[in-house]
Amino acid sequence: MKRIIILTISIIVILGCGSKSPHFPFDIPSDPNYLYARATATSKDMQHALNTAKDAGRVEIGRQMETRVSAMFKRFIEETGGGTDAELLRQTADVSKSVVSTTLYGSRAKKEDVKQEGGLYRAYVLMEVAIGEANKVLAAQIKAQEHLYTRFRAAQGFKELAEEVEKYEEFKRQQGLR
């Protein structure tokens, strides 16, 4: 009987010593036009706790964006016919990588809450970023890259044409036609 009492008291003490995981004061909304992320952080300084929580939320949104941009990039490749032009695809891949950091500038804290836990502040944030804006940025950057690539290919074509004209002129000189 003593053992059961000691075991019961031990279990109660062990369970009582565990720290509670933070309970978020708000849920993640379901909106197809936005990406959301909840985050929390603690600090002795309230503003530092808020800033750290916001940064953690942005990191999570960045992960979501990377996944979403990768999916958009795959669709773009399929629409343009697969691996037909390695240079264009490489440039588009670079665009898709840069979109993640670019669109995060549009992120904002939709909700914030700060609670005191002992001598610390615990900040809760709900970060959001509009998906429509991310799509606009991706489309604009891809279009800019396509224009650059088109100009590059045109310049390369003129260079090849000039080389062919020079070869023809040299051939005419050698044949005494000029």
Burial class of 109 by CB neighbour count within 10 A (0 to 12, 13 to 18, 19+): middle
Q: Answer whether 0.75 is exceeded by the pTM.
A: no
Give the residue carrying structure tokens 């900040």: 123
Q: Which helix (H) or strand (E) holds 36?
A: strand 34-43
111 or 4, which is more confident: 111
What number of CA atoms fall less than 13 Å from residue 171's CA on the CB side?
Answer: 6
174 or 43, which is more confident: 43
What's the whole-number average pLDDT of the chain?
73
Cross-strand pairs, 96? none
Cross-strand pairs, 40? 124
Q: What sign has the CA pseudo-torsion 172, 173, 176, 178?
A: positive
pLDDT of residue 65: 75
pLDDT of residue 169: 77
Structure tokens at 131: 């998906």
Q: What is the spatial distance between Cα 102 and Cα 20, in angstroms, rounded to a whole number?
A: 36
Structural domain spans, the chain: 32-134
Rounded to an integer, the average pLDDT of 121-132 is: 90
* Least confident range of 61-65, 78-82, 111-115, 142-146: 78-82
Cβ-contact 82, 161 below 8 angstroms: no
Q: What sign has the CA pseudo-torsion 21, 27, 30, 31?
A: negative
Q: How far is CA 122 from CA 48, 61, 101, 111, in A?
A: 10, 20, 27, 14
Structure tokens at 55: 């940064």
Rounded to an integer, the average pLDDT of 14-23 is: 56
Q: Give the Cβ contact number of residue 74 at 10 Å.
A: 11
* C-alpha of 136 from chain center: 14
* C-alpha of 79 from chain center: 22
pLDDT in tens, 36-80: 999 999 999 999 999 999 988 988 887 787 766 666 666 665 555
Structure tokens at 156: 């390369």
